[in-house]
Homo-oligomer: A and B are copies of this chain.
């Protein structure tokens, strides 16, 4: 029978794990055309407003396939419930049997997103990070910074937000885990001092103008994952020396790259797909001066890889073969 693991169990095992190799392999398989990812399933609710997405797929010839269900009900906050919830299901690709139920409540989606940011930073960020810039003060703004400890020793963070309260909370939380955090309401303070900048907001208009960009800066754009959201001035993609997308097909339809394509500031031929770009193991950045941008919209193969790794680790802890 299927084994069920709770969020507490999942959090405990994830703390001990490093997913970057699994997720790198996933991106490479994806770019090699070895991954089956059907269109996302969707349910929309009106009263109260909410949505549920079903993402699913598998790597050909692998042992498992994965179905992820994630919902967002944004009025839950009124009744003191988290807005997001969800689970991941791991099935055998050999028999169809359900093997593992991961009641992760959306946590593993955050983990796999953070790991993608870690991977692009490893391949694209400057060797010497002056300071880590962060736009946004939420969960991903924290997870991205913490996961970068595998890429850089830099502990200096400059965080931009719209609310003093959120900035204060972010500073307190991140300083308690060893970072030196400067907060600001002015994006120039970030772009002037940081050469590794992480975008994690739900903004729908640019937070950074092309005129602010310093040579040698790397941007990881995570917040914009729909056709409406946008964090970067589209002209940054014209200026950039290297542009990478987690999925070429998705970036044609959503995210900052989509906006730049529509604006005519970027041609799709300039965009490299992450899995193809890292296949050789060579760094993507070629010089200190280059401006580089990675646009991450989230690919189901990340869910597949993280769910497999977590269920394997939990089974090992539980003594399940």
A interface, CB within 8 angstroms of B: 1-2, 4, 6, 36, 38, 41-48, 50, 52, 54, 56-58, 60-61, 65, 67, 69, 71-73, 76, 79, 81, 84-87, 89, 91, 93-98, 101, 103
Query: In the complex, which residue of chain B has the Cβ closest to the Cβ of A98?
Result: B87
Give Cα A148 to B253, complex, Å. 52
Contact B79 A95 (CB under 8 A): yes
Contact A96 B91 (CB under 8 A): no
Main secondary structure of the interface of A (DSSP, over half): strand
Known: A69-B67, A97-B85. A91 touches B47 (CB 8 A): no
Q: Find chain B residues with CB under 8 A from A81 CB.
A: 95, 97
Between-chain CB contacts (< 8 Å), 9 pairs: A4-B4, A38-B41, A41-B54, A43-B56, A50-B96, A67-B69, A71-B91, A85-B97, A85-B98
Contact B41 A41 (CB under 8 A): yes
Q: Which of B46, B65, B103 contacts A43 (CB 8 A)?
A: B65
Distance of A61 from chain B, by nearest CB (Å): 7
Distance of A215 from chain B, by nearest CB (Å): 45
Contact A65 B85 (CB under 8 A): no
Distance of A39 from chain B, by nearest CB (Å): 8
Q: Find chain B residues with CB under 8 A from A85 CB.
A: 95-98
The 6 closest A-B pairs by CB, nearest first: A71-B96, A73-B96, A41-B41, A85-B96, A73-B95, A85-B97
- 18 additional A-B pairs beyond A43-B56, A79-B95, beta carbons within 8 Å, are A1-B103, A4-B101, A41-B54, A41-B56, A43-B65, A45-B65, A50-B95, A52-B65, A69-B89, A73-B94, A76-B96, A81-B95, A84-B96, A85-B95, A85-B98, A86-B98, A87-B89, A98-B103
Distance of A314 from chain B, by nearest CB (Å): 16
Give Cα A36 to B47, complex, Å. 14
Query: In the complex, which residue of chain B has the Cβ closest to the Cβ of A89?
Result: B69
Give Cα A136 to B95, complex, Å. 26
Distance of A47 from chain B, by nearest CB (Å): 7
Contact B72 A47 (CB under 8 A): no
Q: Find chain B residues with CB under 8 A from A50 CB.
A: 95-96
Distance of A100 from chain B, by nearest CB (Å): 12
Query: In the complex, which residue of chain B has the Cβ closest to the Cβ of A39?
Result: B41
Query: In the complex, which residue of chain B has the Cβ closest to the Cβ of A2?
Result: B103
Contact B52 A91 (CB under 8 A): yes
